[in-house]
A and B are shown apart, each in its own frame.
Chain A
Amino acid sequence: MSKSKQVLTEKSKQKNKKLVDKKTGAHEVEVFVMGKSYKVPAGLTIMKALEYAGYRFIRGCGCRAGFCGACSTVYRIENEQKLGFDLACQKVVEDKMYLVQLPFVPAAKAEYDINKLKPTDSVLLEMYPEIARCVSCNTCTKSCPQDIEVMKYIQNAIRGDIAKCAELSFDCIQCGLCAMRCPADIKHYHVSQLARRLRGKYLDPKSKNLLKRLKEINARKFDPEIEKLMKMPKEEIISLYKNRKIESEESITAGGD
């Protein structure tokens, strides 16, 4: 956070009044960044509001699209008791919102060699024994910005249902808010990482086509043909490309990024 420009305003005194920029007529809101008052245009995300106020992020800012978990944060609206939880890159600021940055979670991770573990009923408990201390308060679920049923997957982990734990936790962006709020010091996002790896490696059935193809590649089956394409005159390969058969497909199977 370099050289934050402080725009301390008198506006904090004018509670409940709409803030309107005299020049542009644009609607503004007042936010409190770690307690300090700033006026920012309405409609910005927490992340963009802080930048507008003069903050240049080093920590607490990543993909800016809701995938990486770098900007998970808590906030509170003035005169409300409850804390809110969200991603700074996704949540739009509201008037009289108290904002903070939580750029690092010091949660301990178990170390393991996935090749030496077995997907037993007790492996998650062995690696992360503290999950047995879950008091079912559901605070983890309430604090998840992805709306994952965190407590439910921890209950599955305790019961040894690796596959279900992996499935329920799949959309986890590993921001760590669950672990920071947990009264039992459970490291939910590390537990579910292990569950997903165990499922992917040991529980899900494997592809036979893939093994067959690898054998063919190792036997250099395709080398001569690719070699031929690499040496082919440009006009010839262009025509080959244009006339190649496109696998018929149902539109519903079209993918893409």
Chain B
Amino acid sequence: MILELIDGYPKYMMESIKIVEEKRERNMSKAIKPMSLKDREEILRKYHPDYMEGTRREVRVGVDKGKVFYEGIVDLLEAKPVVNPDDVDLSTVDYDVDLLIIGGGGAGTVAALFAYESGVPRDRILIVTKLRHGDANSMMAQGGIQAADRPEDSPVLHYLDIYGGGHFTNKPELARALALDAPLIIKWHEELGVMYDRMENGEFQELSGGGTCRNRLHSCKDYSGMEIMRNIRDRARNLEIPVLEFCPIVELLMDDKGQVAGGIAFNLETYEYYVIRAKATILATGGSGRLHLANYPTTNHYGATGDGLVMAYHVGANLIDLDTIQIHPTGDAYPEPIVGILSTEKIRGLGAIPVNANGDPFVFPLEPRDVESAALIRECREGRGIVTPTGMPGVWLDTPMIEIIHGEGTIAEKLAGELRKFNRFGIDMTKHPILVYPTLHYQNGGVEINEKTETRIPGLFAAGEVTGGVHGKNRLMGNSLLDYNVFGRRAGIYAAKYIKKAKTGKLTLDHLKKYNKMLEQAGIKTEKTAPILLPEYRGEMAISRSLDIL
């Protein structure tokens, strides 16, 4: 059974494409209208994982006992701490620093730079990261970063967009910080050397996006996240800020005064642990897409396994808004190598319409992300999608429409990255549609912080995707790159202030013993441990025959 491909697609998919082509002219002339609020509610309730039964449950242990979070996150919170406190000797301190930063992505690197600017000497800072410095979702963001800097715009409007986009559930002080700090972040990027897309007079080319009332998206071609991350990482490298790579922190350390006082690092290659004592600790571990909540594929980085949520919860920090996830309507469903990877919202912005296997449109193309996703899921559940040879469902996004509407060459000019991606697999998106299905994109909630990035535990600060409150129950596009810059900066500044007065007591891991006891009292018997650090993608056969000998 060798699959013969025609222009990159198996024969049966090509037959469906033929129907799409036949109906294209009709589909372009007769647009589907947006849904009423009532219809939106109904489709969300039936098809969006945030509203469906069986995706979430109450957590039975810890500070948020009784709160409802996604199953995959509750599983981690109800697992045993991965470190047995009796295995660790705290009398020898391997690294003694002022500031421990957990995570080498955007938030962690920005925090390090601003802690340094705020007077913490570089050799008193330590960034500890699970993979390489810069391996993070920050590197992957394509679209851009919001900042209200045009005369037609204002931080007040940006605030209103953030708050409304979050269904009015955001912490107002955090939304204010995000909107008001945005222009100064762009200025800082200019000084670092970020190559933003500009007009000839030097003003930024600013785009609009779902949920923004003004065009305020600053971008660097298709590689906005990469360009910003390359610049801040280069700055950190030139300053020689110490970075420990491939050494995730696996648990936080506390002291006898109830403060967070560093962490236990685990060398992924030698299996050694290191005791790191710090006056202040910034949690910047990012998101959790690799947990595949509600069984979704994900756009996220390999290391996005929610470690920070678990470690913070073990010391008593609270979590918010983890009953929602952001699924993006147009993840790739075919070919297999790119399943879950994003196809940008801009494709629909340029006029491409989602159609089912019969070539029929079924939804207004630019509904809010959650509604659009729900409509795609419904179409596939009810059997009007295409199933790929590897079992992935999907619907067509009719990209050739873009060339018909805006003229030949538009895709090459406006969607060069997307064109390159599909060309690798012999698919020409200017001639044939692409297959899409919703994909897990962003962890809306997380560890609760205030506008100084403090958690409820002294000595523990947090910034970036690991935190909750900034975006409430839904994040707007262009606000995550902004989030890690605004709150990474604040974390560096406020941690530096805290360090000046901090006095660390005797180190302890008693909080883990206490957590184990709480699990026992809640009647939770489990062999699972957390944080998990890496997802498990090995073949079933290989795992089933693996022996633990070495």
Interface residues of A (CB under 8 A from B): 3, 5, 7, 18, 20, 25-27, 42-45, 48, 51-59, 61-68, 70, 89-90, 92, 109, 111-115, 166, 170-171, 173-174, 193, 196-202, 204-214, 217, 222, 225-226, 229-230, 234, 237-238, 240-242, 244-247, 249, 251-257
Contacts and interface: CB of A to CB of B under 8 A. Distances in A.
Nearest to B234: A193
Given A63-B140, A66-B421, A109-B237, A53 B150 contact: no
Interface string B149-161: 1111011110110
A63 B193 contact: no
Contacts of A200: 190, 192-196, 231
Given A62-B302, A90-B337, A5 B545 contact: yes
Contacts, number: 281
Interchain residue pairs A-B with the least CB separation, the first 3: A254-B349, A54-B542, A205-B202
19 contacts: A5-B541, A42-B2, A43-B390, A56-B538, A58-B131, A65-B341, A70-B135, A89-B337, A111-B240, A170-B227, A202-B193, A207-B202, A222-B154, A222-B155, A237-B164, A238-B168, A253-B215, A254-B207, A256-B345
A252 B414 contact: yes
A255 B132 contact: no
B466 to A, nearest CB: 18
Contact of A217 (B152, B183, B338): B183
Interface stretch (B40-48, B120-128, B217-225, B489-497): B217-225
Contacts of A196: 193, 195, 227, 230
B87 interface: no
Instruction: Tell which of B137, B217, B477, B538 has the most Cβ of chain A within 10 Å.
Output: B538
A5 B546 contact: yes
Interface residues of B, number: 112
Given A63-B135, A67-B139, A249-B215, A222 B156 contact: yes
B477 A222 contact: no
B187 interface: yes
Interface string B21-61: 00000000000000000000000000000000000000000
B79 to A, nearest CB: 19
A42 B4 CA distance: 12
Contacts of B137: 63
B13 interface: no
B244 interface: no
B246 interface: yes
Contacts of B150: 209
B90 interface: no
A114 B235 contact: yes
Contacts of B204: 207, 209-210
Contacts of B237: 109, 111
Contacts of B541: 5, 7
A198 B111 CA distance: 23
A244 B142 CA distance: 27
Contact of A205 (B200, B207, B542): B200
A128 B223 CA distance: 26
Contacts of A62: 131-132, 135, 139, 301-302
B156 A229 contact: yes
Nearest to A110: B238
Interface stretch (B70-78, B172-180, B457-465): B172-180
A115 to B, nearest CB: 8
Contact of A247 (B213, B223, B227, B534): B213
A67 B202 contact: no
A59 B547 CA distance: 22
Instruction: Tell which of B156, B342, B345 has the most Cβ of chain A within 10 Å.
Output: B156
Interface string B1-19: 1110000000000000000
B238 A114 contact: yes
Nearest to A199: B195
A14 B213 CA distance: 64
B337 A255 contact: no
B242 interface: no
Contacts of B163: 229, 237, 241
Contacts of A67: 139-140, 223, 225-226
Given A61-B302, A214-B183, A256 B534 contact: no
B336 A43 contact: yes
B207 A253 contact: yes
A59 B192 CA distance: 29
Contacts of A254: 207-209, 345-346, 349-350
Contacts of A111: 237-238, 240
A26 B1 contact: yes
Given A207-B198, A255-B346, A44 B160 contact: no
B412 interface: no
Contacts of A114: 192-193, 235, 238
Instruction: Tell which of B215, B240, B268 has the most Cβ of chain A within 10 Å.
Output: B215
A255 B208 contact: yes
B231 A52 contact: no
Interface string B446-473: 0000000000000000000000000000
Nearest to B210: A256
B176 A230 contact: yes
Nearest to A25: B1
B164 to A, nearest CB: 4
A20 to B, nearest CB: 8
Contacts of A63: 135, 137, 139-140, 301-302
A257 B345 contact: yes
Contacts of B335: 43
Contacts of A42: 2
A53 B409 CA distance: 42
Contacts of B202: 204-208
Contact of B219 (A27, A199, A255): A255
Contact of A237 (B168, B534, B538): B168
A54 B538 contact: yes
B195 A5 contact: no
B195 A222 contact: no
Contacts of A53: 539, 542
B207 A112 contact: no
Nearest to A52: B539
A113 B191 CA distance: 12
B99 to A, nearest CB: 22
Contact of B424 (A3, A56, A90, A204): A90
Nearest to A42: B2
Contacts of B194: 200
A211 B425 CA distance: 45
A256 B226 contact: no
Interface in B350-364: 350-351
Contacts of A212: 151
Interface in B524-550: 534, 536-539, 541-543, 545-548, 550
Contact of A255 (B192, B268, B302, B478): B478
Contact of A213 (B148, B214, B235, B538): B148
A205 B547 CA distance: 61
A14 to B, nearest CB: 16
A212 B542 CA distance: 61
